Amino acid sequence: MWFVYVVRCSDRSLYTGVTTDAERRVGEHNDGTGARYTRSRGPVKLVYLEKARNRGDALMREHEIKRMSTAGKNALVAKAKLLKTGRPACRRAIRRATLSRRP
């Protein structure tokens, strides 16, 4: 099974990738053996995880997420957090990010 994941770096930037083992991959990012982007921005924290049927689907979804604006990525993360916790503050963050999108 493949996964698309988003991690938040220590500088608050977001990094998106694909893997078959999210826990191992986040550990690699934190050990400095992951992607070059995250090596100088560690430690990272997993903020979004999505299942994919196969590697191709995972890569297509990764590409979609990477093409999103920062506000769109933050809304995606906030929506996932909202589904997990149900916190009202997340709903406000999603609404703000959605309203600030350009057509």
| Tens-digit pLDDT profile for residues 39-73 | 999 899 999 999 999 999 999 999 999 999 999 99
Domains of the chain plus CATH, in order, are 1-67 (3.40.1440.10), 68-103 (no CATH)
- Give burial (CB, 10 Å; 0-12/13-18/19+) of 70: exposed
pLDDT-derived band at 25, boundaries 50, 70, 90 = very high
* Whole-number Å distance between alpha carbons of 40 and 26: 14
Indicate the SS3 state at residue 47. Answer: strand
Average pLDDT, the chain: 85
